[in-house]
Amino acid sequence: MSRLPYPDPHTARRVIREAASWYSQLCSGQSTLEEKQAWQSWLSQGWEQQWAWSRVENLQRQLGVAPGDVTRNVLESSAEEMRAQRRALLKGAGAVAIACPVAWYGWQARPWQPLLADYRTATGERREWLLDDGTRLVLNTDSAVDIVFDAHQRLVKLIRGEIFIETGHGDAAQGKSFVVQTAHASLRALGTQFAVRLHADSTWLAVMQHAVEITLPSSASASLILAAGQQATIDDNGVDGTLLLAGNEVSWLRGMLVVTDWRLADLAAELGRYRRGSLRCDSRLADRRISGAFPLDDTDMALQAIQAALPMLQIDYLTRYWVTLRPAKD
């Protein structure tokens, strides 16, 4: 599995908070020369600060509220130029120029949460950890969790993405339940291997060994046990039935995406989770069916395999970060 430099969880939370504070101040357009010099001094302290700063800038770009490249603006612009840019932005785009400090307060609950998580992965990255109780925790692409292990509980809070759990039974596990918590349910492991994926409006659970007890926030006393070989989707309305596993649901653990009779649009959407930028499927090809095994660590190779399986398809690269699957030209 690919491994990228990543600070320990305590350091990561600290430098992310520092980076967010600096970002909010700098893009307000009101920072002094001394503050800019202090920011540069902070940034030069080490790779952890540079790591945190890059993630704050990337998140701002993804959310579309950052008024340009703050690093470039701070390093290249005089104080008067910064103020002039701010006035122009205010005139041309309303309150966009002051969106940074305002947005910081509004984002604390959700978009910033993954950056402050105890464990997280970047797009296209998969990582594995062994927790204090011997539990094996694997994070799929673009995922984040918080861990709460204390004298009373073993709790994993899934903030974003997808995880695989193989519960441990070491000394730290004695007498304490193991629970994965999402926005839609609490999932208590009954000595098991299982996977959980968090979608925007639901949670997907698949049990590979033993069983998992599902408890909904709206009915803490009622629960449902999902047995090995079963999967279920859970949303605000409850558990939407149970289905048998096909056997390939966690093929990502092996670095592969194995599909059987999938819509091409669904395959493109799933592969898109593992590469930066946009991967789109033309609506004229959306319902084409495809089966196969596709490498996740080289999604360009996966796209070539799709093209070989569907000769009527061509792959258009506007850039590496904007790819469209469309019908081949006559």
Q: Same domain, yes or no, for 58 and 143? A: no
| Contact predicate 20/56, CB 8 Å | yes
Give the CB-side neighbour count of residue 92, counting CA atoms within 13 A. Answer: 8
Query: Each residue's pLDDT tens digit in the chain (330 positions)?
Result: 444 566 776 787 788 878 887 887 777 667 788 888 888 889 889 888 888 888 777 666 555 544 445 555 555 544 444 444 444 444 443 333 334 544 444 434 455 566 678 899 999 999 999 998 899 999 999 999 999 888 888 999 999 999 999 998 877 677 789 999 999 999 999 989 999 999 999 999 999 999 999 999 876 556 899 999 999 999 988 998 899 999 999 999 999 999 999 999 999 999 999 999 999 999 999 999 999 999 999 999 999 999 999 999 999 999 889 999 999 985
Residue 311 included in any domain: yes
Residue 216 included in any domain: yes
Q: Same domain, yes or no, for 205 and 264? A: no
Residue 147 included in any domain: yes
Which of 202, 224, 244 lies at the terminal end of a domain, its last residue?
Answer: 244
- The answer to whether the predicted template modeling score (pTM) of the entire model surpasses 0.85 is no
> CA dist 220 to 201, 233, 276, Å?
20, 18, 39
pLDDT (tens digit, 9 = 90+) per residue, 169-216?
877 677 789 999 999 999 999 989 999 999 999 999 999 999 999 999
pLDDT at 239: 92
Q: Hey, what are 83's tokens?
A: 């103020």
Q: Same domain, yes or no, for 93 and 125? A: no
Q: Same domain, yes or no, for 126 and 238? A: yes
pLDDT at 111: 55
Q: How far apart are CA 267 and CA 245, in angstroms?
A: 18
Which of 61, 90, 115 lies at the terminal end of a domain, its last residue?
Answer: 115
- Helices 47-63, 99-107: crossing angle, 10 deg rounding: 100
Count of structural domains within the chain: 3
Q: How far apart are CA 308 and CA 310, in angstroms?
A: 6
pLDDT at 285: 96
Q: Could you tell me the residue range of the domain that residue 218 belongs to?
A: 118-244
Grouping H, G, I as helix, E, B as strand and the rest as coil, residue 80 is helix
Other beta carbons within 10 Å of 168: 18
Q: Same domain, yes or no, for 71 and 173? A: no
CATH number of the domain that 261 lies in?
Answer: 3.55.50
Which of 69, 85, 115 lies at the terminal end of a domain, its last residue?
Answer: 115
Q: Same domain, yes or no, for 94 and 136? A: no
- Report the Cα–Cα distance between both ends of the chain, in Å, rounded: 41
Element (H, E) at 194: strand 193-198
